[in-house]
Amino acid sequence: MRPISRILIANRGEIARRIIRACHEEGLEAVAVYSDADRNSLHVRAADFAVPIGPAAPAESYLRIDRLIEAAHQIGAQAIHPGYGFLAERAAFAQAVLDAGLGFVGPGPDAMRALGDKTEARRRMAEAGVPIVPGTTEPITSAAQAEQIAQSLGYPVMVKAAAGGGGKGMRVVGSARELPGAIETARSEARKAFGDDTTYLEKFIVRPRHVEVQILADGERTIHLGERECSIQRRHQKLVEESPSVAVSAELRERMGQAGVAAARAVGYVGAGTCEFLLAEDGSFYFLEMNTRIQVEHPVTELVLGVDLVREQLRIVRGLPMTPTDGPHVPRGWAIECRITSEDPSHGFLPSTGRIRFLRAPSGPGVRWDGGVETGDEVTLFYDSLLGKLIVWAPDRPQAIRRMQRALNELLVLGVGTNQGFHRSLLADPAFQAGEIDIQFLDRRPDLLTPPHDPELMVVIAVAAALAEDQARRSRAPIVSGGETKAAPSAWTHAARRDALR
């Protein structure tokens, strides 16, 4: 058992707050880090300690490995949790943390390197007997080679970047005429996003589902915790997730789960990870990639299986055995997650920035709000647009959909635009309600991406805005003490006082 009592969280927003909660439930102290823009953020206030790490730009703060390790040593943390995004899947970060004598809450750097390079990952999966999408296991080196491979696979094919993720460096190609331009575009995008323009080719599977399997490994045992359906995507970015999947039977769940376990064992994986698959209409499935971190959508697995995945991560880094048994783990009920982002669906999901004038989180039976912001917080262009995750649980899928509709109506965010209207339209759609979805679903249904104007909601927002403005005006009123009038202390003053108390 490794003596760890204080964890530094190398992240911000919703996931930082989620990890802080898990630390406290495990009896551990949580250390937040913050950029200048996040000085007064929710995750900073929730932590036991907080350390500044630089300017607002991520390249000067949350992506600075040296500053994060220095902060951990400065505050006496014995381990670092990377969360998701930023440095979470950088093998160089994991290696630097270990070299500094600290624990890393995640897999080892060797496993991260093997899985971070998609061509290497495909090669290892094929050797381990995990089904992979037909395609190359080596990078493409010329247009002529690519054309020959594409002809053998049969169009359509997909050009994919070997590094990175999130839909960057990916292009679907329907004919030989399109191939050279698609390769050049994918390489250029990958070079800018990941600093690596290596690409490879895969057969494009028509209308597959995106189904992922949750893996947990503690060095002694490797198990799977069922699947999540993540097919509702826009430009390869997930918007809605659920567990279980309407397309997965108990028998298929076990086969996919065992494939995920084999994938993890093939690289000596330790910790929480996610094996992503494409599930074809005929029930065949293919390895897509493995994410070497906690996923944004992990709460839906937690709700149907009654397990706290972040606490399991914290146990594993301390050398403790994970608590779930070998299984089989049968999901109880149904969970759905909607990602609430500061984006405007009516204008192509453009980012919306500004100060949150009012936020009312939903509550009630079966409702969970994992939020990273609150009233008064500033939403900027420096960071991801995720404001929070709205998750519901119910005994079955129809009830979960109705509960999510109710929760979406309760959620109110003023000051920035959000994608709530999209979620309302999606959940009301008969095809979605019937579970007739795949990863191209929104490509065929652009009407769902431009939700209709809701007059009743506009009235509610107008009333709430007036109340929020009145509350803000009262908070700015002068304070009278002992016959002397003085201005109310600013947020910066409060932050300075907290720093001094620490």
Single-letter residue type at 363: S
> Of the candidates 266, 133, 119, 262, which has an alpha carbon nearest to the alpha carbon of residue 210?
133
Q: Which helix (H) or strand (E) holds 122?
A: helix 118-127
82 CB neighbour count, 10 Å cutoff: 26
Token digits of residue 404: 């999510």
Count of residues in the chain:
502
- Alpha carbon 287 to its chain's center: 19
- Give the separation between CA 292 and CA 82, rounded to whole angstroms: 11
H helix intervals, 235-292: 250-266
Token digits of residue 407: 């929760």
Catalytic residue list: 293
- Give the separation between CA 346 and CA 393, rounded to whole angstroms: 29
Q: Is the peptide bond before 244 cis (omega within 30 degrees of 0)?
A: yes
What does the H/E/C string look like for 315-342? HHHCCCCCCCCCCCCCCCCEEEEEEEEC
- Give the separation between CA 315 and CA 309, rounded to whole angstroms: 10
> Of the candidates 213, 418, 433, which has an alpha carbon nearest to the alpha carbon of residue 301?
213
List, in sequence order, every residue forming a beta bridge with 338; answer none if it has no partner: 240, 390
- Alpha carbon 221 to its chain's center: 25
Single-letter residue type at 396: D
Strands 378-379 and 6-9: unpaired
Token digits of residue 473: 């005006």
Half-sphere CA count of 253, side-chain side, radius 13 A? 21
Token digits of residue 401: 């959909």
